[in-house]
C-alpha cells in the first residue's frame, strides 16, 4: 500500500464502523475563556480500549486476507496499540502476540491480557522491542502490525479527523500528540485532502522531543526520552515522518508539569479520564496560547488509560 489517499481513508472508515465508536466532540466555555480560543476536543479517550489505536488496528486486521490472518498478528507496544490489536484479533477470531516492555503500566498490561492475547515481555528499549518482535514473527509466522509505521494503521487513525471535520467543519487549527506519528500523520492526510486551509500541529513532551528535532533537521533523529507521557516515548517511522514533514506546520513541545496540569484540568472540567499522552495537545494550547488566540482549535484527546494508583497530581 502506498501513502493513503482520501479514498483509502474513507474506505477504512466504512470498514471499521462496526467495531469502533464514533466518539463525541466536547467543548467547555470555561476552557475557552482560559485559553482565549474556541476548543473542540475529539474524545478518542472514550474509544474502544480507551484509545484511538482501535481505529488502525481494526482497519489492518479486517484488511487481511484469510491467508495473512490465519497465523495471527503480532506487534510491539507499550499498551494502547497492543490492547487494540488484541481486541481486533479477538473480533476476527485469530491469535494476537503482543511484545510489551516490562515497565508498561499495569492497567495496559491487564487490558492486553483481558482480550486473550499472548504477551511476551522485553526490556524497554526500542531495540529490545524490535528484536523480540522479530523472534516472535519468525517463530509463529504471524503478520506484523506495526504500532504506527504501517499505512493501514495510518489510514485507520486518519478516520478520527474525518469525524471531527464532520462535526466542526470550520476549524482553523488541529493539534494531535506525536510519538510514533500514526495519529498525527493520519490527521494531516485527512486535513490536506478535505480542509487544506486548516493548520496542523503536532504536540510532544519536551523530554521526548525527537519529532520536533526531526522536523527541524529534515531527517529522523532518535533520542532517548523520559516523560510521564508513556505513549509518546517512541520515535518516528519513515512512513509517518514522510507525511509529517510534508503536511505538518510545526511540532510544539510542552513541559512535564504542563502535561500534568493539562490532564488534571480535563478531568476537572470535561469530567473525562485522559491519560498524559492524550492531554499533550491541550497542554500545547495552554503553553503556546498566543498562537491560538481567537481561533477554532480541534484537539485530539488520544487515550484515557491510566494507572489510578500512580496519579501525580499532588498539589500541582
Look at residue 315 in the predicted model and tell me its pLDDT: 46
For residues 222 and 211, give the distance between their C-alpha atoms in angstroms, rounded to a whole number.
9
The answer for 231, left when phi > 0, alpha when psi is -120 to 50, beta otherwise, is: alpha
The pLDDT assigned to 316 comes to: 44
Q: Are 189 and 9 in contact (CB under 8 A)?
A: yes
pTM score of the predicted model? 0.94
Interval 210-251: pLDDT, tens: 999 999 999 999 987 889 998 898 889 999 999 999 999 999
Query: Which residues, in sequence order, are CB contacts of 166 under 8 Å at separation 6+?
Result: none
Cβ–Cβ under 8 Å, residues 45 and 302 = yes
236-248 in b/e burial notation, b at 16+ Cβ within 10 A? bbebbbebbbebb
Is 89 a residue whose pLDDT tops 50?
yes
Query: For 257, phi and psi rounded to 5 degrees?
Result: -60, -35
Counting every residue written for the chain, the total comes to: 316
pLDDT at residue 15, rounded to an integer = 98
User: What share of the chain in percent tops pLDDT 70?
Assistant: 99
Q: 135-183, pLDDT tens digit by residue?
A: 999 999 999 999 999 999 999 999 999 999 999 999 999 999 999 999 9
The whole-chain average pLDDT of the chain stands at 94
- Domains belonging to the chain, first-starting first, are 6-52+151-310 (3.40.50.1100), 54-144 (3.40.50.1100)
Instruction: Report which secondary-structure segment, H or E, holds 246.
Output: helix 238-247
Q: Is the pLDDT of residue 259 over 90?
A: yes
Nearest to 179 by CA among 144, 130, 212: 212
Contacts of 75 (CB under 8 A, 6+ apart): 81, 82, 85, 96, 97, 98, 99, 133, 144, 145, 146, 147
How do residues 117-141 score in pLDDT, each as one tens digit?
A: 999 999 988 789 889 999 999 999 9
Amino acid at each position: 500500500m502506498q501513502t493513503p489517499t482520501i479514498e483509502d481513508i474513507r474506505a477504512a472508515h466504512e470498514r471499521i464502523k462496526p467495531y469502533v465508536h464514533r466518539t463525541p466532540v466536547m467543548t467547555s466555555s470555561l476552557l475557552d475563556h482560559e485559553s482565549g480560543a474556541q476548543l473542540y476536543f475529539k474524545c478518542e479517550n472514550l474509544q474502544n480500549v480507551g484509545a484511538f489505536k482501535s481505529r488502525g488496528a481494526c482497519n489492518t486486521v479486517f484488511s487481511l486476507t484469510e491467508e495473512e490472518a490465519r497465523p495471527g498478528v503480532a506487534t510491539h507496544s507499550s499498551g494502547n496499540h497492543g490492547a487494540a490489536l488484541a481486541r481486533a484479533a479477538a473480533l476476527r477470531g485469530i491469535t494476537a502476540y503482543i511484545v510489551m516492555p516490562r515497565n508498561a503500566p499495569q492497567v495496559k498490561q491487564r487490558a492486553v491480557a483481558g482480550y486473550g492475547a499472548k504477551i511476551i515481555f522485553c526490556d524497554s528499549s526500542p531495540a529490545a522491542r524490535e528484536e523480540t518482535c522479530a523472534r516472535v514473527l519468525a517463530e509463529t509466522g504471524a503478520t506484523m502490525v506495526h504500532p504506527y509505521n504501517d499505512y493501514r494503521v495510518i489510514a485507520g487513525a486518519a478516520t478520527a479527523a474525518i469525524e471531527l471535520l464532520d462535526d466542526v467543519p470550520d476549524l482553523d487549527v488541529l493539534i494531535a500528540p506525536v510519538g510514533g506519528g500514526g495519529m498525527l500523520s493520519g490527521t494531516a492526510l485527512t486535513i490536506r485532502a478535505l480542509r487544506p486551509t486548516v493548520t496542523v500541529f503536532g504536540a510532544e513532551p519536551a523530554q521526548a522531543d525527537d519529532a520536533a528535532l526531526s522536523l527541524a533537521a529534515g531527517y529522523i533523529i532518535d533520542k532517548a526520552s523520559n516523560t510521564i507521557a508513556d505513549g509518546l516515548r517512541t520515535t518516528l517511522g519513515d512512513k509517518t515522518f514522510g507525511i509529517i514533514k510534508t503536511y505538518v506546520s510545526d511540532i510544539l513541545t510542552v513541559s512535564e508539569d504542563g502535561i500534568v496540569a493539562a490532564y488534571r484540568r480535563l478531568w476537572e472540567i470535561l469530567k473525562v479520564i485522559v491519560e498524559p499522552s492524550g492531554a499533550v495537545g491541550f497542554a500545547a494550547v495552554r503553553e503556546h496560547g498566543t498562537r491560538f488566540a481567537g481561533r477554532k482549535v480541534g484537539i485530539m484527546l488520544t487515550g484515557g488509560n491510566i494507572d489510578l494508583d500512580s496519579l501525580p497530581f499532588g498539589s500541582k
